Amino acid sequence: MRQSIVRRSPGALLLAIVALFAMGACASARRPEFLATTSGPPRPFSPAVKVNGFIYLSGQLGTDSAGRLVAGGILPETRQTMQNISALLSRSGSSLKQVVKCTVFLADMNEWAAMNEVYVTFFAADRRPARSAMGASGLAFGARVEIECIAT
């Protein structure tokens, strides 16, 4: 019977094979890849998850490789936060050039302008991602800023 199907419609068999391959490719594309933490203390979340061509970064703080908040306030914290984001994106196969959206959480909205002084230095003027910024009543470890991103 199999031979008669092929003889009658070889295009249908090819279409069925292509459809099965596509279904398998789509299923694997939907499987998220959870990146492991490489430094600092253990956390109850993944620093980034890759799925369907996007990389979703958890909120990043201005912490050093030991997980300690850098000293000096909003300016050095923002710089370290952006460096942490850049390193995580690189580890994920992406870069700051591929960031499409950021969300910024500030412990004090009065520090918005100071945070922006550093933040804008990490993106080309014609490739700045969409962004939201909001004040928070408190951030982990007493941080001044936390930034999360979505990239491709």
* CATH classification at residue 77: 3.30.1330.40
Do 99 and 88 share a structural domain?
yes
Round to whole Å and give the CA distance between 47 and 36. 7
pTM for the full predicted model: 0.79
Task: Examine the pLDDT at 94 and tell me if it is beyond 70.
Answer: yes
Task: Examine the pLDDT at 12 and tell me if it is beyond 80.
Answer: no
Token pair, residue 110, equals: 């009065």
Residue type, 32: P
Do 79 and 18 share a structural domain?
no
Task: Examine the pLDDT at 23 and tell me if it is beyond 80.
Answer: no
> What SS3 class is residue 146?
strand
Q: How confident is the model at residue 20 (pLDDT cuts 50, 70, 90)?
A: very low
Model pLDDT, residue 54: 98
Buried b (16+ CB within 10 A) or exposed e, 26-57: eeeeeeeeebeeeeeeeeeebbbbbeeeebbb
Domain hosting residue 123, numbered range: 33-151
Looking at per-residue confidence, does 146 or 37 come out higher?
Answer: 146
**Number of domains forming the structure of the chain:** 2
Tell me how far CA of residue 76 lies from CA of 10, 58, 62, in angstroms.
65, 20, 8
